[in-house]
Amino acid sequence: MAKLNFGGVEENVITREEFPMQKALDVLKNETIAVIGYGVQGPGQSLNLKDNGFRVIVGQRKNSKTWKKAESDGWVEGETLFEIEEACERATIIQYLLSDAGQIALWPSIKKNLSPGKALYFSHGFGITFREHTQIIPPKDVDVFLIAPKGSGTSLRRLFLQGRGLNSSFAIEQDATGRAKERVLALGIGVGSGYLFETTFKKEVFSDLTGERGTLMGAIAGIFEAQYNVLRKNGHTPSEAFNETVEELTQSLMPLVAENGMDWMYANTSTTAQRGALDWKGRFRKAVEPVFEELYNSVASGKEAQIVIEANSKPDYREKLDKELEELRNMEIWQAGKTVRKLRPGN
């Protein structure tokens, strides 16, 4: 295990050089991995594992949309595609990749198939960390661990097909067999991780829920809308407001940050832009940091988990969610974006 030093703070990481694919295959050579759920993470993780040579099956409700999607991806009924309970019976490792709400609903069926020595794998710490709400409490005689890719399953698959990787965190909640660590690391390499960094279930879910509500989705969407609205109120056209708010950021500046850091992005802009950004970034930080503190405390207290569970348990939740997403989609900023994207060269 390598150690990365971040200004005096050390982190444990595992690279592909330290844990090569052949070692991962050897560790899991007698294992059958059942991927339960074929929504956000299931397709990317299962297909990457299969292409890397692991013994993988998919468990899904028959004749559902996701069953049909699995078939279209090459999984074969009765060979590599099974009803959920049968897949769990056949598996030695159950990758529990349903939504948080789906995990709660299906838990009784999963639990009865967790015989001694099996492993229960998550890609999110929600169900275990908030067990008082979810009632997901695994037996003591199974391994419990997680691999959490730092991105969507779609990104995981795309990067895999490009010969690259998506960094992932790993955590061990329960080591009943004495093999939990080698099993989880093998799976992390198998699903296509660039490197693996160590965390806990609690830290994973706290950082994940904060990130989703913060800079990854909630905060950035709110910031986009605020700037776009100010520009429009001051007479700028939808095209100009969208380009200056979203297009330039996502197509030009963020790739520079990804390539070599924020300072690199600053260095590749005008001195006018640099001066203004340096003058204003502190004000924005001071303005939003209290909101992030409130957000983190809401996550750590379990309040956010309770909100999610209560909302997802309502029979009309999906209809209400679709309505909210439709309202988002129909906002002028994102309709402007739809038009702008069509005008990109090559589209």
Active site residues: 124
121 φ, ψ to 5°? -115, 135
Q: How many CA atoms lie within 13 A of 137 on its CB side?
A: 4
Phi, psi of 73 (to 5 degrees): -85, 0
CA atoms within 13 A on the CB side of 38: 27
